[in-house]
Amino acid sequence: MKNSFLNSEFNLVKFPIFFPLIYGFILYLFPQFETYLLFFTILLLAETHFGATWPFFLNKANFDLIKKDKMNLITIPIIIVILSVIGFIFVKKLFLLIFFAANVFHVTRQSFGVCKLYTNKKIEINFQEIFIYSINILFFIIGYFRFYLPVINAENLLLLNIVVLSIILISSIIYIYKFQLSNIYPFLSGVIIFYPICFVNNPVHAIIMGVTMHYTQYLYLTHKVHKGRKKNRSTNNSRYSYLGTIIIYSTLMASFSLFGKSSNEMFNILIMIPIIGQMLHFYLDSQLWKFSNPHNREHVLNYIKN
């Protein structure tokens, strides 16, 4: 895989730092456009990446797998929908905390997975896993104490950022010393992806700003798999339009997300629909990108590596 700063794979998968930088630039220089920034980021990146799950999952390549594994790929998703509805309605604060934890775990898992695409050295993979998971667990704890149980206040933020940036800097220096400089980029993307949680004032930005990197990685990789499957007649499924499905899904879900700020309780509850879609995405991806499964190695990893 190429490593040029002009290479689309570098800018969308290895180190898509431009997206959170652009997001932060607009957020802090043009705060009056915050609502528009959120909506268009959700529309163009967040919900498109969630929407990509469905043509990726409901593809002819997976039909036999779905039939054989109905428990994991049909029954459990239905249970997730039911529990999410119950949780959102009756224990909303706890449900949103679980949602945040699932989000962090899902994004962290992908960050580590992307790193593994660029190295096969066991010692390097172990280093990536330990530091990416540890630092993102730290961000989850920080998020909990900033927004759910507000113990960390504005007076503590400077010290917090100094400590966190020091940890990231030291881990990066160790990485460069021990391994190749070229491989630092996906690792760095993985450890800074939730860093905005240390300085933004709205938890929504903590979830979206850095995670724009996650969205572009997912869209690039699923599109690559889609193209590979399309060329393979035995797994091509022309009944499902990859781009069309994503456009329709993202438009609908981004529209529902706007109702989250509505004063009307009936409209406000509609934000539950995209949240449930996201919970399904977290779970289904844990099954579809599990490369210990021979089916996924053949119908997913094979197309990414080519």
Instruction: Work out the average pLDDT over 35-55.
Output: 96
φ and ψ at 286, to 5 degrees? Answer: -65, -25
In this prediction, residue 262 carries a pLDDT of: 66
Q: Quick one: average pLDDT of 203-213?
A: 96
What band does 291 get if pLDDT is binned at 50, 70 and 90?
very high
The per-residue pLDDT for 267 is: 73
Both tokens assigned to 256: 């529902």
| 22-32 average pLDDT score | 98
> What is the reported pLDDT for 3?
46
Residue type, 241: S
Mean pLDDT of 277-289: 97
More confident residue, 11 or 258: 11
Confidence bin at 117 (pLDDT 50/70/90): very high
Dump the DSSP string for the chain: ----TT-HHIIIII--THHHHHHHHHHHH-GGGHHHHHHHHIIIIIHHHHHTHHHHHSSGGGHHHHHHTHIIIIIHHHHHHHHHHHHHHHSHHHHHHHHHHHHHHHHHHHHHHHHHTT---HHHHHHHHHHHHHHHHHHHHHHIIIIIS--S-GGGHHHHHHHHHHHHHHHHHHHHHHS-GGGHHHHHHHHHTTGGGGT-SSHHHHHHTTTHHHHHHHHHHHHHHHHHHHH-TTT--TTS-HHHHHHHHHHHHHHHHHGGG-SSHHHHGGGHHHHHHHHHHHHHHHHHT-TTSHHHIIIIIHHHH-
Section 199-204 average pLDDT: 95
Q: What local confidence, expressed as pLDDT, does residue 178 receive?
A: 94
Lowest-confidence range among 174-183, 255-264, 279-288?
255-264
3-state SS record for 20-76 = HHHHHHHHHHCHHHHHHHHHHHHHHHHHHHHHCHHHHHCCHHHHHHHHHCHHHHHHH
* Averaged pLDDT of the chain: 93
Residue 62's pLDDT band (cuts 50, 70, 90): very high
Between 233 and 259, where is the model more confident? 259
In this prediction, residues 249-253 reach a mean pLDDT of 96
Q: What is the pTM of this model?
A: 0.94
Confidence (pLDDT) at 240: 60
Average pLDDT over residues 215-229: 95
Supply the pLDDT for residue 264: 73
Cβ contact 164:195 at 8 Å: yes
User: Where does the pLDDT of residue 180 fall: very low under 50, low under 70, confident under 90, or very high at 90 and above?
Assistant: confident
Mean pLDDT within 181-198:
95
The pLDDT confidence band at residue 26, using thresholds 50, 70 and 90, is very high
User: Any idea which residue has 């268009």 for tokens?
Assistant: 40
**pLDDT higher at 153 or 50:** 50
Q: Which pLDDT value is given to residue 258?
A: 83
pLDDT of residue 289: 96
Determine what percent of the chain is predicted with pLDDT higher than 90.
Answer: 86
